[in-house]
Copies of this chain bind each other. A is one copy, B any other.
Amino acid sequence: MSLKLYELVGTDAARPFSPYCWRTRMALAHKGLSAETLPWRFTEKSAIAPHGSERVPVLLHHDKPVADSWIIANYLEVNFPDRPSLFGGEGGRAMARMINAWGDIAIVGGLSPLVIADIPNNLGEVDAAYFRKSREARFGKSLEEVQASRDTGIVAFRKSLEIMRQTFKTQPFLGGEAPNYADYIVFGGFQWARVVSPFKLLETDDPIYAWREKLLDAFEGMARKSPGHEV
């Protein structure tokens, strides 16, 4: 089958780092699907504009574009029903919607001020300038100022993950006995941080650390083999 995936990269085309693209990468692997990667950089808006999107991931399935990680996950579930389920039924699909929002706000939003000033190090000159200008406008201060308080910010971030620890008291994955899309939603954020920043996010005795290890090892170590920092 023909599947191609536009994925965000920087100077190293083999180092995809978007949290949303990693949700899709893990979802494809869960379905046993492989997609040709189409490296895409922040300033290459014109490359995906014909596919009706300003952001990645964009999946091309027989050249039909599907944009947005949540919509892609639903598309894969509907169009590859004989492959392992991403949601474990209609109730899981529905509940994953709020977990997706939690992943956006608590995980990506929570990690952002901890790693954001490290991101330009991974980008070429034009992309780094674009990234800095657009994000500094959004935060109203320099990336370095945003990140300056990360040694205290990390404490609040770790506390915000308490609902994961409570869950891991009775099951090993957010998806139950095995990982599913609920796990990939959250893991995408951790993998993003691992790729762009050496900042230590989790204590090794945190149950979330053990969970992340298992996802780094999943699919023959796909995420761990992708270039990144020690975590």
**A contact set with B: CB distance below 8 Å:** 85, 87-102, 104-106, 162-164, 166-167, 170-171, 173-177, 180, 182
Which among A94, A99, A106, A173 has the highest number of chain B CB atoms within 10 Å? A94
CB contact between A182 and one of B95, B100, B104 (< 8 Å): that residue: B95
**Residue in A87, A98, A102, A167 whose Cβ sees the most chain B Cβ within 10 Å:** A98
- A94 closest partner in B (C-beta): B176
Whether the pair B180, A97 counts as a contact (CB closer than 8 A) is: no
A97 touches which of B88, B94, B170 (Cβ 8 Å): B170
Please pick, from B92, B105, B163, the residue contacting A92 in the complex, using a CB distance under 8 A: B92
What residues of B have a CB within 8 angstroms of the CB of A100 in the complex? Answer: 166
Q: Report the separation of the CA atoms of residues A223 and B170 in the bound assembly, to the nearest whole angstrom.
A: 30
Q: How far is the CA of A167 from the CA of B163 in the complex (A)?
A: 18
User: Considering the chains assembled together, what is the distance between the CA atoms of A166 and B185 in angstroms?
Assistant: 15
